[in-house]
A and B are shown apart, each in its own frame.
Chain A
Amino acid sequence: MTTLTGNNFGDTPVVPAKPDNYLTHGKTIGSWLLTLDHKRIGIMYLVVGLLAFFIGGMLAEVIRTQLLVPQGLIFHGTGSVASSYAAYRYYNQVFTLHGIIMVFLVLIPIIPGALGNFALPLLLGAKDVAFPKLNLISFYLYVVGALLAILSTVLGAVDTGWTFYTPFSIQTESYVVVMVLGIFLVGFSSIFTGINFMVTIHKLRPPGMTWFRMPLFLWAIYSTSLIQVAATPVVGITFVLLMMERVMGIGIFNPALGGNPVLFQEFFWFYSHPAVYIMILPAMGIVSEIIPVFSRKHIFGYEFIALSSLAIALIGFLVWGHHIFVNGQSAELDAVFSFLTFVVAVPSAIKVWNWLATMYKGAIVLKTPMLYALSFIVLFTIGGLTGVVLGALSEDVVLHDTYFVVGHFHYVMMGGTLIGFIAGLHYWWPKMFGRMYNERIAQWTCVVLFIGINLTFFPQLMVGADGMPRRYASYLPMYQPYMIVSTVGAYIQLVAFLSMAGYLLHSLFRGKKAPVNPWGGGSLEWETSSPPPHDNFETTPSVGDPYDYTDMVFDPVTNGYVRTEPQQVPVAAPQAH
């Protein structure tokens, strides 16, 4: 008792020479590439995802530059109509690749893959996800899928649009099969990740953490996984059918062989609409984590936020038809889809009100993660409200396939998912790498990005309502003023992203050491060191209310928050607050 030398583990050194963490635990390349550690897999997802985001982003800049002038600035003909069309094919390939990369390689996998993998077991106080090997397989399926996407681009870039609508995708002379095979594999990566996370949440919750004591990010990830598991197989089989169509001429979607091209659209959107929620729900989860921490106040309406995620996931399965109102399905069916679309809008609204109520009477710290979370609220509100008008049947007729739709989903995807991801990245960055970034520069970058996003996408809403269709390589001159503003916005975003890359890279090597709990978060990941050790926790953390900040004080010595008394394990159900 009096001496520490005589413990039961004789070989353990008394004073560790240097604290081991997951980043230094194994230094070979193989120890990274073959790791089963969820944190390292998360970091690998982050690297590949950001690389894909960089490529997709540069393609976006090409698109915006092309649209500076009505006849196209980059791809345009040499005078004859035929030569223009031949040039426009390159533009079509660019926007197709932009869509495919952003949707399948960035928006869908990046939050669950990078932040989910890193944070989910930590938030649970667990050592790893339920199936670590499956987790690694998921990652490599994702990488192989991405490589196939690159291969198809090298062989003959796809020009179908990311939606692969038949019969165009059956006829076009580009490497659709290779691309679709890549997406098929990415889909399976998504399914396995979903299964893994759901089982982890079901089976690896520590004693005391009941469903309604989980951090809200876990609820969001759980709902997301539910969609991944239930919707992705359908797009898997759809893409198999599309491949069969091209390789064997099976004829299910080919009108020339008696097939039904609209069936492809139904199948495609049965997945791809829920996929929208795969993208946005985790971002909402991140915002639900950040807002209470930086308001120093308990989250408002916990159950409503948690259950609204589940409601969105479930109702989200029944609204796919709203993408195809004008393709001739029966008006009665259209009405049902329209109705359900409005129903699914309500849970999203509930979340926004609860976030605002959380801020009410709080002590709001406007650090970078919080600034991004607030940007999320504003941008997502605009994205959501523009979605409401698209759900109205008669309005959809005049807005379908216009730039209004483009503006709407960029507000949701860029302003929602990506901003949510960036918020989460800044929130967990100190935990991931044990370093702080330059707060002042990060805050200004957030402001610039916010301005850039609005300048880019608000004019797109206006020009779309004015009648400009999407996927146009050239356009009528009357739309040009909007297009110029939009392009300027895109370049402002580029500046913001370059700045972000700069200060984050700087932080990796030169950043100040991060404390255990820099923001004062109450969930379990803030109980372990930054960065966490290989096995996540030295001692099993005690579970409490993740949104209770009353016993936390700022410690100026470590620059982080510490608890004044250890968390009490609540014995009964959480008391009403």
Chain B
Amino acid sequence: MGVTMISQMLGHMNFGRTIAALWLPHGDSTFSPGVQFLWDFWYWISVFFTVLIVGLVVSFSIRYRHTKDRTIAENSPSHNNSLEITWTIIPFIIVMVIFALGFKDYMNMDSPPANSYNIHVIAQKWSWTFVYENGAISNTLYLPVNKPVRLNMTSKDVLHGFWIPDLSIQRDVVPGRVMTTWVEATHPGKYILQCAEYCGDGHSEMRANVVAEAYPKFQHQIVAAANIFEENGKPLPLATVGKKLYVTLGCLGCHSVDGSKGTGPSWKNLAGSKEVLTNGHSVSVDYAFLKTMITHPGRVLIKGFPAGVMPSYGSRFTGKNVKNLYAVVWYINSLSKYSNKASQPPVPNESGGAEPATSSKAAAAPATVAPAAAVKAASPVAKVPSGPKPIPLHVLGAKLYKSLGCIGCHTVNGQPGVGPTWKNLAGYPQKLTTGKTVIADYKFLRTMILDPGTMDVVGVPAGVMPNMYKYQLSGKKHPHETKLNALIWYINTLSNRSSKATQPPVPDVPAVK
């Protein structure tokens, strides 16, 4: 109580602002006055003690300096308990006052008011994304003035630090947890959010703009931010939207657009070109390939680029958000001189794609993505490249081989890869780590694809093959296992020992819906 009163009293006096203002930035949140006051309090105490100590050092050195007549110290005690106690107690009291003031403000910072507006902050290497209560997504943090905002923060990869100097607020963002803090801006203004916790290459550029506005204007802003596909009510070309996403989703951290080297491949002249995979395969960068690289980056690895660096964007590009994918792929195509029909998305670039009317709805979706959405979203994977014309199963299998990412680990020409080659696989004996040898028949192939952990083949590292194909190829949603059969048919066409036992139980004819 007393501390509060004194702090308010002294706070109004605003002493020493002229000099102390050289130090802390002018704070614009409800925390700032307290922080500012304690800073000033500490600052002047420090100035006092620094001047005192430097003064004593200098004056003693001059006054008591060693001279011809002064070769030994004057007789003075080397011991004085009351003096010792004095200079123990006084600093102790001072630091306890600082402790109490700091503690009081900190408890306030730690407990967000119940009526706070919620913003979800997503940190990743090396960008910030903000999701608002209405589902809008932005890379600028919009804050309403005079309304407490609770920030629920998650990290997709490593530690990051949410730090807005002008609003006196900082919190680490720890992966695997939801970190919370809150802030209430007191004035409209523009500030900068910087990442404070070291997070790698792009750490020093991991910034975001912060805009505090009066509540009505804030609402207007986040509604506008909710729709990236339109500007002033007019639909934008998808490539333009893709360029925005390039920045807002943080692609720019690893992929250049001018051909210069980065952590990931440059997008300049990427679409339609040839890339060499880690298994030595050469693939043409078509739409299906780009899609796989964006939605499931771990599946296919391009030679010369490290594994496990690219975050999984999964739900941001699939399901209701598939337009984001079209936009980014159009943008990549717009950067390439090799761009061709095969490398372009299945919707036109101009007037915002095929269905401009629903675009705003589609974009508003991401914040309400339910946990199941990611699983569901994975199901239409093979639809787009499979095309409208009915094709034999093994042809569909050959397409799935690329689009599902099998190509990343399995070759079809007999060369070694991470997983076994599909050339002459079906019908040939396979040695298991248990010592048994089994023939690669239909049952074996099906098990290996759906439940890869059940058996381990000698010479193939365990635990590498993902076990989520179960959901994409089998189960309740895929009672006919059409795509699975397509893959196994494709494997059969690559083997000279294909037989009834190795082939799927359905004929290799166009799939029936």
Direct contact of A and B (CB under 8 A): yes
Binding site for B on A (CB under 8 A): 77-86, 88-89, 92, 159, 161, 165, 167-168, 171-173, 255-256, 261-262, 295-302, 304, 324-328, 331, 334-335, 338-339, 342-343, 345-346, 349-350, 352-354, 356-366, 374, 377-378, 381-382, 385-386, 388-389, 391-398, 400-402, 462, 465-467, 469-476, 547, 549-550, 553-554, 576-577
B161 neighbours in A (Cβ, 8 Å) = 326, 400-401, 469
Q: In whole Å, how far is A390's beta carbon from the nearest beta carbon of chain B?
A: 10
By the criterion CB–CB under 8 Å, are A467 and B165 in contact? yes
- Taken residue by residue from 156 to 171, chain B's Cβ proximity to chain A (1 for < 8 Å, 0 otherwise) reads as 0111010101101111
**Are A359 and B64 in contact, with the CB atoms below 8 A?**
yes
Which of A345, A357, A365, A474 meets B205, CB within 8 Å? A474
CA distance A304 to B80 in the complex (A): 10
Q: What's the Cα separation between A131 and B39 when bound, in Å?
A: 50
Contact A300 B78 (CB under 8 A): yes
Q: Mind listing 11 A-B residue pairs with CB under 8 Å?
A: A85-B126, A261-B174, A299-B78, A326-B170, A326-B172, A328-B172, A335-B106, A349-B91, A385-B46, A385-B50, A475-B204
- The digit string for B398-438, where 1 denotes a CB below 8 A from any CB of A, is 00000000000000000000000000000000000000000
Interface centre among A85, A342, A357, A577 (most CB of B within 10 A): A85
Q: Which of A300, A324, A377, A394 contacts B53 (CB 8 A)?
A: A377
Interface string of B187-215 (1 = CB under 8 A from A): 00000101111111111110000000000
Contact B168 A398 (CB under 8 A): yes
**Nearest Cβ distance between residue B456 and chain A, in whole angstroms?**
17
B224 to chain A: which residues have CB within 8 Å?
A: none
Residues A389 and B39 in contact in the complex (CB < 8 Å), given A298-B78, A360-B76: yes
Task: Tell me whether B88 and A346 are in contact (CB under 8 A).
Answer: yes
Q: Which residues of B contact A466 (CB under 8 A)?
A: 23-25, 165
Q: List chain B residues, Cβ under 8 A from A84.
A: 202, 205
Proximity bits, B242-275, A CB within 8 Å = 1, else 0: 0000000000111111101111101000000000
Q: How far is the CA of A207 from the CA of B38 in the complex (A)?
A: 53
Beta-carbon nearest neighbor of A400 in chain B: B170
Closest 4 CB pairs of A and B: A82-B262, A467-B165, A392-B102, A255-B176
How many inter-chain residue pairs (CB < 8 Å) link A and B?
A: 330
Interface range on chain B (Cβ under 8 Å from partner) = 35 or more
Please measure, in the bound complex, the distance between the C-alpha atom of A437 and the C-alpha atom of B50, giving whole angstroms: 32
Are A82 and B261 closer than 8 Å at their CB atoms?
yes
CB atoms of A78 and B260 under 8 A apart: yes
Task: Enumerate chain A residues within 8 angstroms of B72, measured Cβ to Cβ.
Answer: 296-297, 363, 549-550
State the CA gap A220–B190 with chains docked (Å). 51
Give CA–CA (A363, B74) in the complex, Å: 8
Which of B38, B106, B159, B260 touches A165 (beta carbons < 8 Å)?
A: B159
| Docked complex Cα distance between A413 and B83 (Å) | 29
C-alpha spacing A130/B154, complex, angstroms: 54
> In the bound complex, do residue A82 and residue B256 qualify as a contact, i.e. CB atoms below 8 Å apart?
yes
In the complex, the answer to whether A366 meets B61 with C-beta atoms within 8 Å is: yes
Contacts of A357 in B (CB 8 A): 80, 83
Whose C-beta in chain B lies nearest to the C-beta of A352? B53
Output the nearest chain B residue to A554 by Cβ-Cβ distance: B71
Nearest CB to that of A392 among chain B residues?
B102
Instruction: Say whether B203 contacts A473, CB under 8 Å.
Output: yes
Q: Assess the A346–B198 pair: CB atoms within 8 A.
A: no
**Least Cβ–Cβ distance between A98 and chain B, in angstroms:** 14
Q: What are the residues of chain B within 8 A of A467 when measuring CB–CB?
A: 25, 163, 165-166, 194
Decide if A394 touches B102 in the complex (CB within 8 Å): yes
Contact A471–B203 (Cβ < 8 Å):
yes
- The answer, yes or no, to whether B9 is at the interface (CB within 8 Å) is no
Considering the chains assembled together, what is the distance between the CA atoms of A470 and B201 in angstroms? 14
Check A576–B106 contact: CB distance below 8 A: no
Bound Cα distance from A325 to B172, whole angstroms: 9
CA distance in complex: A400, B174 (Å): 16
Complex CA–CA separation, A301 to B85 (angstroms): 11
Contact of A300 among B35, B79, B159, B171 (CB under 8 A): B79
Considering the complex, give the chain A residue whose CB is closest to the CB of B110: A331
Write the chain B residue with the least CB distance to A358: B78
* Cβ of B345 under 8 Å from chain A: no
